[in-house]
Chain A
Amino acid sequence: MADTRVSLCGIELDNPVIPASGTFGFGYEFSEWYDINILGSISLKGTTKDPRFGNPTPRIAECASGMLNAVGLQNPGVDKVISEEIPKLQKCYRKGVMANISGFSVEEYVDVSKKFDAVPCVSFLEINISCPNVHGGGMSFGTSPESAYAVTKAVKAVTHKPVIVKLSPNVTSITDMAKACEQGGADGISLINTFLGMRIDLRTRRPVLKNNTGGLSGPCIFPLALRMVCDVSRSVRIPVVGMGGIMTAEDVLEMMMAGATAVEVGAANLTDPCACKKIIEDLPEAMDKYGIGSLSELSRGFSLWEKT
């Protein structure tokens, strides 16, 4: 029998499949479709210190094999997430969750992290430094190694829970970003967030998105994500959570072979509410098909071609 268990930052998960932040609400919404206790864990909707409505609509645009979103971190703020959303989730979910944290200053990341640190069911803190509007010497936290280091170090100082830093692909060198987070004390890296993209409505001669640009996700980014996961996992010693366009159990195996310890599934949840369930159910058969006995050993059996 295929063994789907993995250990992420010392915490054992029944399987590596984690719905990605922003595509799974606060989790309980999906319990109407299936028993969400089958999931490895859940990365909650990105949470900020204060409530946010987000960007004006339209916030969604479609493209070949994917979509753009410009939701803009809509969330009720950390206090309501802890007092209202997490209790609703706990009525239908028994496992630990990953709190996903965004901020507009180091202090905000620290404040929100402290609050989630005190919530027992939060197993991991996922620090989202892929938000383009945060201040950090005029550059976002996610595009400068110095600020990535600073925010990681500041958050690590206020929590004993594993800190996983979520990286943006919109950088010159994602491995430099990952190394900076590792030096800042990160326990793991998750990647990738969405690629900045755009669509234009030819009839109105305006961008489809009211925000002009949005983040590209879906199967069209899978090869880009896989390459980055492969690079990053060879550049740092801490575990990597791979994501970007995963749609099938085979995609999960590819991502883990590239070096991911666990995976997050994002846009797939929006096109099929049962996407994660299907992936988890298909995983043992896919493992058998490729002679994979245990997921935790998967990346060891993979090697790149030697370049001549």
Chain B
Amino acid sequence: MKEQRDYESIPGTYVFDARRARDGYPLNMFCMSLNKAENRRSFKENSPTYMERFALSTEQREAVLQRDWLGMLKVGGNIYYTIKIAFCDGLTFQDVAGIMSGVSKEVYAQMMLAGGRTPEGNRYKDAARKDDERG
């Protein structure tokens, strides 16, 4: 897992690969538990106590309690799992996407209505690299 993966050059993107899957297992399995209504109730009633059932790292627990959606991805969370926490809060995919991309709900919604985030200039972390390169 030491080699550079070509997808790591994509900006603002956390590919759920083996490394993230290993780190994220307890976090994602905690999220998975929220598919059950009784667990959602327990989590909403007392989040720290409920989360003790799962072997989360300190960073993972804090990211959940702070609702640090980007932070969750950085400690191995996958969006299809972490979105279940957002559903408990009454948020949608679009709400969370706006927060992760650092703009208000209104600005994000307007960007989508206007056709979404353009790939131009968003293909490579090194913006100087030509967009039309493939790799």
Our verdict on whether A and B bind, yes or no, reads no
Interface residues of B (CB under 8 A from A): none
